Chain A
Amino acid sequence: MVKMPKRTFGDDIRVALLIIIIIAVIYPIIYVVSPGWGVVLGHGIYWVIALIGFNLLFSYTGLLSFGHALFLGIGAYTVGFMYKYLGITSIELHLLGSILSSALVAFLVGFVVVKYTRIFFAIFMLAIAQIFWSLYYKFFWITGGTDGIKVARFSIFGISLENLDFASYHHIFFYLVTGIALVLVYLMWRIVNSPFGLALKAIRDNETRARFIGIDVYKMRLYAFIISAIYASITGALAANHHRLVTPDIAYWTTSGKVVFATLLGGAKMFIGPVIGSFIFHIIESFAMRFIYWQIIMGLLIVIIIIVVPGGFIQLIKTSIEQGSRLIRR
């Protein structure tokens, strides 16, 4: 029987899950040595979710969004509003609220925006994200403006974590987001390897042909857009609980840039690229931020990556493994 092409390690779900599990295993050691790096790993874990969601749209559907901060903002502000106006601290409800609100916004925005492709889609998304950012920024009596909204420590399964010491609270948060990331990465892998994923790739490659074999291109793009938005909003919701403060920064265009950058850094063409990209980005960012002109370092880095390894770190790893095995065989 003919089968789907054999997956390389870059598209192997076991590798993706293994990376996250390894991070989770080494996390306690890292935290003991340097709590700051423990926090960085935490960032890395929950950003994986936004990046693989973004990559569903970018690499699998062929739509480059320059405005994914829109959905990170929706997720974060949903948490902020839920706490500020309803006093809700339950992280389960935060996640549920973020999923529902982002799905609704993605449906309304996507209804219009997925009719466009290429630069039109990218700029459209950037514009909409900036509109939302300005709403958070200007409507300060609702959103707190640049001061943002403070969020209390979350509760989980009805248990409040308010009285825990910082380290314990952070450990619980870390392993919670690890669990969520494992589930969502696995789900995304199933999505991209399902008939739906195949249809998305077909649309990406040849929209006209896809339409003339009966694929509803518009609907498929809209579904991908909504899924991608939900993933980003989950990261937004987790970031709000991690920082315990929601400010317009999360919805600013630089956040959208971070999503694109980190995905490219890891490598968009393989499934595990964004997983690697998330960790590498946060590690590099933490180093770079020690310098006053850290943005220059990050900017230079993306230029180098585009020129030297356009396939991202995963491509670099793949090439190294191939060359290494060739040398061993000799």
Chain B
Amino acid sequence: MEILKLVDVRKYFGGVRALENITTTLNEGELTMVIGPNGAGKTTLVNVISGYILPDGGKIIYSGEEITRYPPLKRIEKGIVRSFQLVNVFEGLTVYENLMTALFSRMKNYNRMYKLVDDYVEVSNEAENLLKLFGLIDLADKNIKSISYGDRKLLDIAISFAMNPKLIMLDEPTSGVATKDKDEIMEKIIEIIRKTKVTSIIIEHDMDIVFRYGERIIAMHQGKIIADGEADEVKRDEEVKRVLLGGIYA
């Protein structure tokens, strides 16, 4: 069943055509990897879907409803959640507090002023379950500055999952992470995506990861989709080979 449809979506930054007539659909529960060289428009694509920036033209239809001009808050309420390329967590809070903040936000409790955070036992239990799911339980009371970059990345993604997303977009979830930790983090993410069956868009540069985990791959170049299909199909695409793979999988 179709969850997201982009119709002729365009975004220009001055003379740069970041997105050029993007038309595609995503089905519920699908795991899509988006690949492309720097400046291909991958992050811009996530930005327009999440409402971080508005497109200059075209339509974004989510679960049958046009959301093209919706502000981020309204999209989040509908279950469209994203993470950012650089780690984006709350640095002055502990790991546990980061997750509690996201959970309160999802439950619309974040404007409650009198009851103490600790008194929300059910929210706390959910935070604990998420921490266990992401393997962060031992770091619960740690300050962000005292944990590794990889753990921060995981926390960042855990925050997104705390929002109970219907469509999650992860912008380079392993960027900046030590090579030895990349696989571990990606394994964890894929495991959770498969367990929760959430529709996912993952932007990734590492081709090994892309072709290992991607069920569907969208390749972009200069603001356009140059290939869209299953891993083997995209791998064999001549333009993808020329622009992206440079003979790696030839």
A-contacting residues, B48-95, CB 8 Å = 50, 52, 72-73, 76-77, 81-82, 84, 88-94
Residue A223 is within 8 A (CB to CB) of chain B in the complex: yes
Is there an interface contact between A5 and B94, defined as CB atoms closer than 8 Å? yes
Given A195-B109, A198-B100: A209 in contact with B117 (beta carbons within 8 A): no
Q: Check A325 for interface membership: any CB of B closer than 8 A.
A: no
Task: Please state if A213 and B102 are interface contacts (CB–CB under 8 Å).
Answer: yes
- Complex: A223 Cα to B110 Cα, angstroms: 12
Cβ-based interface call for B120 (8 A): yes
Number of interface residues of B (CB under 8 A): 49
| Residues of B that sit less than 8 Å from A by CB | 50, 52, 72-73, 76-77, 81-82, 84, 88-94, 96-98, 100-102, 104-106, 109-118, 120-121, 124-125, 127-128, 131, 137, 140-141, 159-160, 162-163
The stretch from A155-163, A173-181, A186-194 touching chain B is: A186-194
Contact-size category for A: 20 to 34
Minimum C-beta distance from B171 to chain A (A): 11
The smallest C-beta distance from A10 to any residue of chain B, in angstroms, reads 15
Interface pair B101/A4, CB less than 8 Å apart: no
Min CB–CB distance A311 → chain B (angstroms): 15
Cβ of A214 < 8 Å from any Cβ of B?
yes
A242 at the interface (CB under 8 A from B): no
Which residue of the partner chain A has the closest CB to B76?
A214
Q: Which of B50, B76, B92, B127 contacts A2 (CB 8 A)?
A: B127
A193–B81 alpha-carbon span in the complex (Å): 27
- Chain B residue nearest to A216 (CB atoms) is B73
Pick the residue among A202, A211, A214 that contacts B106 (CB under 8 A).
A214
Provide the residues of chain A in CB contact with B96, threshold 8 Å.
Answer: 2-5
- By the criterion CB–CB under 8 Å, are B124 and A3 in contact? yes
Instruction: Give the residues in chain B near A220, CB-CB below 8 Å.
Output: 110-111
Listed in ascending order, the chain A residues whose CB lies under 8 Å from chain B are 1-5, 190-191, 193-199, 201-202, 204-206, 208-216, 219-220, 223
**Could you say which of A195, A205, A214 has the most chain B C-beta atoms within 10 Å of its C-beta?**
A195
Indicate if the CB atoms of A201 and B110 lie closer than 8 Å. no
Task: List 10 A-B pairs, minimum CB-CB distance, nearest first.
Answer: A214-B76, A195-B104, A205-B90, A199-B110, A209-B88, A196-B113, A214-B105, A205-B92, A2-B140, A202-B101
User: Does the CB pair B77–A202 fall under 8 Å?
Assistant: no
Check if A223 sits within 8 Å of B111, measured CB to CB. yes
Task: Look across to chain A and name the residue whose beta carbon is closest to the beta carbon of B115.
Answer: A194
CB distance from A307 to the nearest CB of B (A): 24
In contact, A206 and B88 (Cβ under 8 angstroms): yes
CB of B144 to closest CB in A, whole Å: 9
In the bound complex, residues from chain B placing their C-beta under 8 Å from that of A206 are: 88-91
Are B76 and A196 in contact, CB atoms less than 8 angstroms apart?
A: no
- Decide: A194 and B114 in contact? CB cutoff 8 A: yes
Question: 8 A-B pairs, CB-CB below 8 angstroms?
Answer: A194-B114, A195-B111, A196-B112, A198-B93, A201-B101, A202-B90, A214-B76, A214-B105
Which chain A positions have C-beta within 8 A of B118?
3-4
On whether the beta carbons of B124 and A2 are closer than 8 Å, the reply is: yes
B72 pairs with A198, CB closer than 8 A: no
Q: Are A208 and B88 in contact (CB under 8 A)?
A: yes
A3-B118, A196-B113, A199-B105 known; A212+B93 contact, CB < 8 A: no
State the CA gap A201–B98 with chains docked (Å).
Answer: 10
B159 to chain A: which residues have CB within 8 Å?
209, 213
Q: A2-B131, A2-B140 are in contact. List 11 more A-B contacts (CB 8 A).
A: A3-B124, A194-B114, A194-B117, A195-B104, A195-B120, A197-B113, A198-B101, A202-B101, A209-B88, A212-B50, A215-B105
When the two chains form their complex, are residues A194 and B163 in contact, meaning their CB atoms are under 8 A apart? Answer: no
Cβ contacts under 8 Å, A208 to chain B: 84, 88
Cβ of A235 to closest chain B Cβ, rounded Å:
20
With A3-B118, A198-B100 as contacts: A191 and B113 at CB distance below 8 Å: yes
Of all chain B residues, which has the CB nearest A223? B111
CA distance A196 to B88 in the complex (A): 20
Q: Bound complex: CA of A2 vs CA of B99, how far in Å?
A: 12
Chain A residues with CB below 8 A from B140, complex form = 2
B127 contacts across to A, CB distance below 8 A? 2
- Cross-chain contact B92 with A195 (CB below 8 angstroms): no
Residues of A close to B98: CB separation below 8 A: 202
In the bound complex, how far is the Cα of B120 from the Cα of A197, in angstroms?
14
- Chain B residues with CB below 8 A from A211, complex form: 72-73
Asked if A213 and B84 make an inter-chain contact with CB atoms under 8 angstroms apart, the answer reads no
Q: Which residues of B contact A190 (CB under 8 A)?
A: 113-116
Q: Is there contact, CB below 8 Å, between B111 and A205?
A: no
The residues of A that contact B89 with a CB separation of less than 8 Å are 206, 209
Find B97's partner among A4, A194, A213 (CB 8 Å cutoff). A4
Partner of B92, one of A191, A193, A201, A216: A201
Chain A nearest CB, measured from B152 CB (Å): 12
Report whether A198 and B104 are in contact in the complex, using a CB–CB cutoff of 8 Å.
yes
Cα–Cα, bound, A284→B35 (Å): 64
Q: Point out the residue from A3, A194, A212 that lies within 8 Å of B113, measured CB to CB.
A: A194
What is the minimal beta-carbon distance from A134 to any residue of chain B, in angstroms?
35
